[in-house]
Amino acid sequence: MAEPSDPSPAPDALPEPRIVRARRWNVSLVWLVPAVAIAIAASMLVRSVFLTGPRIEIEFKSADGVEAGKTEVRYKEVVIGKVVGVALRDDRERVVVVVQLDQSAARFAVEDTTFWVVKPRIGTGGVSGLGTLFSGAYIGTDAGVSTRSRSEFVGLEAPPLVLRGEPGAIFVLRASDLGSLDVGSPVFYRRTQVGRLVGYTLDADRDELTVKVFIEAPYPKLVTTNSRFWNASGIDLTLNASGLTVNTQTLVSILAGGVAFETPTDGTRATPAPENSVFALFNDRRSALAPPDGSALPLRMSFDQSVRGLVPGATIDLLGVDIGRVRTVALDYDAKRKRFPVEVVADIFPTRLGPVRSALLRDVHGAGDAAVLQQLVANGLRAQLRTGNLLTGQLYVALDFIPGPPRTATIDDDGSVRLPTAPGTLSELQPQIAEIVQKVSKIPFDEIGRDLRTTLASASKAINQLSPEAQKALAEVQRTLQRTQATLESLDRNVADPSAPVQRNLEETLLELQRTSRALRLLSDYLQQHPEALLRGKPADAPVPQR
């Protein structure tokens, strides 16, 4: 044990122990270790227990793609929580997804927050959520602004198209037909996309569609109270006197449909429309930009003739001005007369009359458009079917003043005006032509033909009997003519020929007469200058002047 060189005493003697002062080391300092551990553990636990956000429950139709412990809850792609449990609701109708929100996301557990599952979606508006192909579905969030907290939510089945706080404005369009529009369809202004369609509902009570469009900032101010919206889907092809016009929006809208709007520049000052203003959605640009029709006045007309060529939508025309549309054409039965009159229901738009309308309304002391119509009928206004297109045989209803027995317009229970009708020009013509044809058919063409033949036969007989005398008479005529010709020839020789004596004599006489008249003229001239010559005679000639 002890080394040989060791200075310590012999092996059997134990070395002298050394006593030294211990380093100052307070043993109770070791208790700092558990204290620090407790502090650390407590802080960690406090952070994870007390600093976790609220736990919320979201109901979905199905938990497709949602996995407990994996699926995240994100707001603007920032993770704010995680699904910690997926369970069926007690009634097994829906799925309850339990979400543990982060502490920083505690504000999300308020009343108007919405949740939805983000999955890859391919629609007409584009492809979305492609990232979830790799990461799996996640729950998207739109933060609410309410201050009332809540822990049970009902999730949306599809992502909302407008997130809260997205700058822009929503406008409501009322449409009769959705056309090829769909959620996500673009909204165009001057062929530039300024928004999108965010939803539509079929309003069963009003039997029309309510379409909501979202116009992104800063474009909402382009929507004015005068703006007109129309369905810009597809290709608008117009052929008229000015040629062929093809009107389209972008290729996307041709394929996927779209809404366009425009503000007609008709001089009136347009103010930006407030959010959620309601507009009508027209079927095309032309009808959209036409002056507003106002409320329609229904008309009922009963025609006693075929209405072949009259289709719903045909024009109602007042002296050439388009004032309405045919709504329905239906067959009626008149038991009294045993006839099938055709009942035509049409809408006319009194506002299309323009300033005339107010004058007419003043005439009836403001009793309304129906009263105006009644007065016009009393003055002879009648509905009449007329041919609009000779090629296709399309008919339109013309309102015109037609002389005839006075009639009145009645107003039906439903407020529609029953307008008296006049037979159409074509239908008026038909009986007249028939009458003529009838008269023509009454003419005894057979008898006439027979009579004519006998007449012709007797005529030819008479001519045959007359022929010998006629030949004689003709020979006489010929002789007479020959003689006349001879007379004329001699006359010609004696008179007309320039060498004839009559001609020559006449010529000489005329020359003599000419000379005489010249001499007379000289005499008269001389006498004019020298009237004294009558008394004194002609003086001697003046001497020739000498040089």
Question: Is 390 an interacting residue with respect to another protein (CB under 8 A)?
Answer: no
Q: Which of 4, 12, 31, 474 binds another protein (CB under 8 A)?
A: 31
> What's the DSSP call for residue 449?
H
Question: Is 40 an interacting residue with respect to another protein (CB under 8 A)?
Answer: yes
Question: Is 412 an interacting residue with respect to another protein (CB under 8 A)?
Answer: no
Give Cβ neighbours of residue 284 (< 8 Å, ≥ 6 apart): 230, 231, 236
Question: Is 483 an interacting residue with respect to another protein (CB under 8 A)?
Answer: no
Tokens of 464: 């045959």
Chain positions 99 to 158 lying near another protein, rule: CB under 8 A, are: 131, 134-136
Q: Which of 4, 5, 10, 22 binds another protein (CB under 8 A)?
A: 22
* Rounded Cα gap, residues 64 and 86, in angstroms: 11
CA 317, chain centre distance (Å): 19
Closer CB to another protein, 48 or 494, in the complex? 48
Stretch touching another protein by CB under 8 A, among 7-15, 176-184, 418-426, 471-479: 7-15
Least Å from the CB of residue 29 to another protein: 9
**Residue showing tokens 């035509």:** 344
CA 529, chain centre distance (Å): 102
Residues, the chain, total?
547
Q: Are 84 and 44 in contact (CB under 8 A)?
A: no
Closer CB to another protein, 118 or 273, in the complex? 118
Closer CB to another protein, 79 or 496, in the complex? 79
Q: Angle CA(291)–CA(295)–CA(297) in degrees, nearest 5?
A: 115
Least Å from the CB of residue 161 to another protein: 23
Tokens of 226: 């005068």
Stretch touching another protein by CB under 8 A, among 17-25, 311-319, 491-499, 517-525: 17-25
Closer CB to another protein, 70 or 339, in the complex? 70
Question: Is 243 an interacting residue with respect to another protein (CB under 8 A)?
Answer: no
Calculate the CA dihedral of residues 404, 410, 416, 420 and round it to 10 degrees.
-20
Q: Which of 10, 14, 391, 443 binds another protein (CB under 8 A)?
A: 14
Closer CB to another protein, 8 or 328, in the complex? 8
Question: Is 72 an interacting residue with respect to another protein (CB under 8 A)?
Answer: yes
Handedness of CA 49, 52, 53, 54 (dihedral sign): negative
Q: Are 538 and 522 in contact (CB under 8 A)?
A: no
Q: Which of 33, 519, 535, 542 binds another protein (CB under 8 A)?
A: 33
Q: Which SS3 state, helix, strand or coil, does residue 417 take? A: strand
Q: Which SS3 state, helix, strand or coil, does residue 26 take? A: coil
* Rounded Cα gap, residues 332 and 337, in angstroms: 12
Question: Is 41 an interacting residue with respect to another protein (CB under 8 A)?
Answer: yes
Question: In the complex, which residues of this chain contact another protein (CB under 8 A)?
Answer: 1-2, 6, 8, 14-22, 27-28, 30-31, 33-34, 36-38, 40-41, 44-45, 47-48, 70, 72, 79, 131, 134-136
